[in-house]
Amino acid sequence: MMCLFSIRFNLNSKSSHLAVLLCLLVFIRFSLEGESPDYLNIQTRIQEIFETSKSSVVRVKATREIVSDGKTRRILKMGSGFFVSKDGQVLTTGLLKDPDRIWVEHMGSFYLAEKLGQDILCNLSLLKLETTPKSFSFVTLSDFPEESKVGSILVALTCALEFDVGPTFGILQSEEFSFGKRLFPTKMLRTSLALGPGEIGAPVFDLRGKFVGISHAGLPDLKSSFLLPANACMRIREALTFSGGVDYGWFGITTTRQLNDTSGFDIVVQNLIDESPAAESLIKSGDIIRKVGNRLVNHQGDLAHAAFFSRPNTFVEFLVIRGGKEIKIPIKVAKRPSFSNDVADMEDSILEDGSDRHSPANNNDSNQTSPF
């Protein structure tokens, strides 16, 4: 009260500005002694996540020689990555194609690494250090992570350029199955994390410290980025560990969208590929696909997502509508063939402006029509 009285009756005095400042400081002090404002709680959580997980993050560099116009030159590409096991496995994305040398920087020290495997479809690579640091943490991946909701605050731990590991934060903006006319191989998470050179491949966490996904591609013009979700990372890492590659599921159908009178669009079977699992099943052209396994199908991306997580030589049940009736049809999943537009046009060098050429925005195969 004395402070308020001073402000009210001494505004013309020389000490009026000082009095206002003192009152603000007193107000802030008493506010902080009560319940902490939400922004302080968020700040504390970001700091805790950084301190807990920073030793899991690495900078990945890869080089190789190329011959152009009769001249030999060595190219370099770098990005972020993170440990996913106690024996020194590192997950990263956008690795240079066919590198002759890979090394990892961790807390100021350098370690040679070998490539255990690379998934071309999602552009993820699994590395193994020849020798491991004396002390480091690793990110725990999960088949069934508790999914973050749109609007959730996310924290990425990145190695931008040649700087030390540091945190940056944003929000989960949407779940996407496509970018323009290009269909993603599985669901992607669009975020407001504006990631720059060297930051692709970084681990991203929610405020609980749970791993949400790996930063996969930047969208500089939109100041946002895409994440490959945690369960997809687990699927790929597991396969690369045991075989060096990933065998995805394939049903052998092409689909189209048709406008309906109630829920918007139906996903309708268009064609059955010869000698495919679908062609050998009871499914027919014109069937409306409602579910694949336990997943509702409202978008062609739902079908791609189902194929992504299906294992070859297992059976998946399709729920279709035919003539107004529901029919359940089992289909034996086959190994996904290679299609010409599977491989993103990955460049062998970093652009001068540092942007990542393997961004979906820079992929020339915008008219993706690969069957599921």
Flag whether pLDDT at 266 surpasses 70.
yes
CB-based contact 225:248 (threshold 8 Å):
no
* Gap between the Cα atoms of 366 and 182, Å rounded: 5
Question: What domain range includes position 87?
Answer: 54-129
Residue 358 lies in a domain: no
| pTM score, whole prediction | 0.77
Strand pairing report for 315-322 and 295-296: unpaired
Calculate mean pLDDT across residues 318-329: 93
Residue range 292-312, pLDDT digits in tens:
998 899 888 899 999 999 999
Which residue would you say has higher pLDDT here, 241 or 6? 241
Residue range 341-371, pLDDT digits in tens:
444 433 332 233 333 333 443 333 333 345 6
Confidence grade of residue 321 (pLDDT, cut at 50, 70, 90)? very high
CATH number reported for the structural domain that contains residue 260 in this entry: 2.30.42.10
Flag whether pLDDT at 331 surpasses 90.
yes
Flag whether pLDDT at 152 surpasses 70.
yes
Calculate mean pLDDT across residues 257-276: 85
pLDDT at position 120 is 85
Flag whether pLDDT at 149 surpasses 90.
no
Where a domain ends, among 129, 156, 177?
Answer: 129
Flag whether pLDDT at 9 surpasses 70.
no
Residue 48 lies in a domain: no
Window from 48-52, 119-123, 184-188, 216-220 with minimum mean pLDDT: 216-220
Residue 354 lies in a domain: no
Mean pLDDT of the chain: 80
* Gap between the Cα atoms of 156 and 363, Å rounded: 25
pLDDT at position 126 is 94
Flag whether pLDDT at 5 surpasses 70.
no
Which residue would you say has higher pLDDT here, 217 or 111? 111
Residue 195 lies in a domain: no
If one counts the domains in the chain, the total is 2
Where a domain ends, among 129, 162, 191?
Answer: 129
How much helix, strand and coil, in percent to the nearest 5, is found in the chain? 20, 40, 40
Tokens of residue 221, six digits: 């013009």
Which residue would you say has higher pLDDT here, 267 or 39? 267
CATH number reported for the structural domain that contains residue 85 in this entry: 2.40.10.10
Residue 161 lies in a domain: no
Residue 367 lies in a domain: no
pLDDT at position 263 is 65
Residue 266 lies in a domain: yes
Residue 214 lies in a domain: no
Calculate mean pLDDT across residues 151-159: 92
Distances (CA, A) of 259 to 256, 284, 299, 345: 10, 19, 12, 34
Flag whether pLDDT at 45 surpasses 80.
yes
pLDDT at position 313 is 93
Flag whether pLDDT at 31 surpasses 60.
no
Where a domain ends, among 112, 129, 146?
Answer: 129
